[in-house]
Amino acid sequence: MKYVSTRGKASELAFDDVVLAGLARDGGLFVPRTWPTLSENALRAMADDDYATLAARVMAPFAAPAMSEAALHEITADAYRTFDHPDIAPLKPIGDNIFLLELFHGPTLAFKDYALQVLGRLFERILAERNQRITILGATSGDTGSAAIEACRDRDRIEIFILHPKGRVSDVQRRQMTTVQTANVHNVAVEGTFDDCQGLVKALFGDNTFRDRVGLAAINSINWARIVAQVVYYVRAALALGAPDREVTFAVPTGNFGNVFSGYVAHNIGVPIRRLVIGSNRNDILTRFFISGAMEVGTVFPTLSPSMDIQVSSNFERLLFDLYDRDGAAVRSRMDAFRDTGSFEVEADRLDRARDLFTATRFDDDETKDTIRRVYETCGEVLDPHSAIGVAAAHRCRGNESVPMVALATAHPAKFPDAVEAAIGVRPVLPPALRDLMDREERYTVLPADVDSLRDHMSRTLTARETIV
Ligand SMILES: *Cc1c(COP(=O)(O)O)cnc(C)c1O
């Protein structure tokens, strides 16, 4: 499979190049040149696969010929070995033909592990083949940082620097990053906001000399490998509920449009998905778009579901590319308008096409807490605030009740204990592997929100690690 950029100007690349590149050179995102398809028989043949085998089979057409299914299977078998549930992504009935797809059984208890555990190993394999090293630099407001660190710790050819805004991530989230005591992991607490952290990352990626010297690479959700690894649990849940002979609807709590875009990919490759329901919190740019056809950036409000406190949904550009019949110039002009004016619009006929598959709805913090309480009272399940938005969206946009509805549970409740306790009066406990998290020793460097300080810190650290000269 070759990959093209959503902005139409970058040259086509193979899977392994796309994994390392992250963003395309024209500023666009990579998408496959065509959508591979799975026949009904091919889907049926996957129904009994274990998770790692299914993952390799689903990813194989996207990775060929750069990487074989056997090579992918080595990676997925190793990646999912550390998960704490035998089904990896268990499906639980929560009433009325509605199911919860639990995606918090990885090492950092959020769905991001499902893709990042694969991506870390993909990096390692591709770098070994090329005898290269990279330095990953990322900013986090919470879950991405810990999932990326767990995925890259102890990998020979990777150094990873993660910036978090000092004092602005939860204790659990910070400790999941700062207690990882391995030599290639470098946490930085920035005296500033998440936006300051992102600004620093952008500035260093814009410094070509530095970027080339340290081999800077990104791990954020625009990386295509993350999208494709997430397709697997949509395929798996649909098969468990009767696909290809029966349709399924999914409800997905979304911020960056990454997770739900993987559902769209599953639909495109032939999984019978009736509808994709998007759940937003108060930061509802996507919900407003699906109502009006206008994508308009607003201010970011803090909510109980901080991993969705986002006003720019980067992965939406990939859907836009299809809505404009893969016309890179049309996407480019809209993304330029968005950058310059904070908004763009999509014509009514194209919006209607998007609405054939997508529905979006928003919930405030009170509704989120009500959902946590209601689900706890009716079926004993304890939801985190992000998962609660998925379940609330599933109920509000139920549609045809004979179609199974799957709500994605994207984080373990113990990651957000304060919100859960406020809703149900019970404080969720961390799973055994993380139970001593609050007693582990932390290690991080505090820096001002200043690009020279960060560049110096990284240079000194990498020189000491003898990874640069
Ligand atoms: C990152 C995250 C989300 C949002 O995922 P997107 O891919 O950005 O839509 C939702 N819930 C949790 C718990 C997350 O960590």
- pLDDT tens figures, 35-51: 999 999 999 999 999 99
Is the separation of the CB atoms in 161 and 178 below 8 Å? no
Is the separation of the CB atoms in 262 and 276 below 8 Å? no
Q: Write the residue with the smallest CA distance to atom 14 of ligand 1.
A: 307
Q: CB count, 10 Å around CB of 266?
A: 27
Give the tokens for residue 460. 């000194």
* pLDDT attached to residue 178: 97
Q: Measured in angstroms, how far is the CA atom of residue 274 from the centroid of ligand 1?
A: 22
* pLDDT attached to residue 17: 95
Q: Measured in angstroms, how far is the CA atom of residue 306 from the centroid of ligand 1?
A: 9
Ligand 1: lining residues by beta carbon, under 6 Å: 110, 112, 143, 221, 253-259, 307-308, 386, 410-411
Distances (CA, A) of 48 to 69, 70, 311, 368: 17, 18, 40, 36
Cα–Cα dist 193/211, whole Å? 23
Atom of ligand 1 nearest to the CA of 104: 13
| Phi-psi map region of 215: left, alpha, beta (phi>0 left; psi -120 to 50 alpha) | left
Beta-carbon contacts of residue 374 (< 8 Å; ≥ 6 apart): none
Cα–Cα dist 248/266, whole Å? 11
Task: Tell me the residue type at 378.
Answer: T
Cα–Cα dist 52/35, whole Å? 22
User: Counting runs of H as helices and runs of E as strands, what totals does the chain give?
Assistant: 19, 16
* pLDDT attached to residue 428: 96
Q: Write the residue with the smallest CA distance to atom 7 of ligand 1.
A: 258
Residue spans of the chain under pLDDT 50: none
| Phi-psi map region of 133: left, alpha, beta (phi>0 left; psi -120 to 50 alpha) | beta
Atom of ligand 1 nearest to the CA of 258: 7
Is the separation of the CB atoms in 235 and 266 below 8 Å? yes
Q: Which of 111, 116, 276, 389 to mutate to test the pocket of ligand 1 (most atoms within 8 A of CB)?
A: 111
Q: Measured in angstroms, how far is the CA atom of residue 39 from the centroid of ligand 1?
A: 30
* 112 belongs to the catalytic site: yes
First to last CA, the chain: 37
Strand, helix or coil at 117? helix
Residue in the block written with tokens 């996957």: 46
Query: Which strands, in side-by-side order, build the sheet including 405-409?
Result: 91-93, 98-102, 405-409, 248-253, 273-280, 358-362
Q: Which of 109, 278, 410 to mutate to test the pocket of ligand 1 (most atoms within 8 A of CB)?
A: 410
Annotated catalytic residue within 2, 9, 92, 112: 112
Query: Which strands, in side-by-side order, build the sheet including 445-448?
Result: 216-217, 134-139, 158-165, 185-191, 445-448
Task: Tell me the residue type at 258.
Answer: G
pTM of the predicted model, to two decimals?
0.96
Domains of the chain in start order, with CATH, are 91-109+227-424 (3.40.50.1100)
Give the tokens for residue 136. 């990953």
Q: Measured in angstroms, how far is the CA atom of residue 107 from the centroid of ligand 1?
A: 16
Q: Measured in angstroms, how far is the CA atom of residue 237 from the centroid of ligand 1?
A: 19
Q: Write the residue with the smallest CA distance to atom 2 of ligand 1.
A: 307
Atom of ligand 1 nearest to the CA of 415: 13
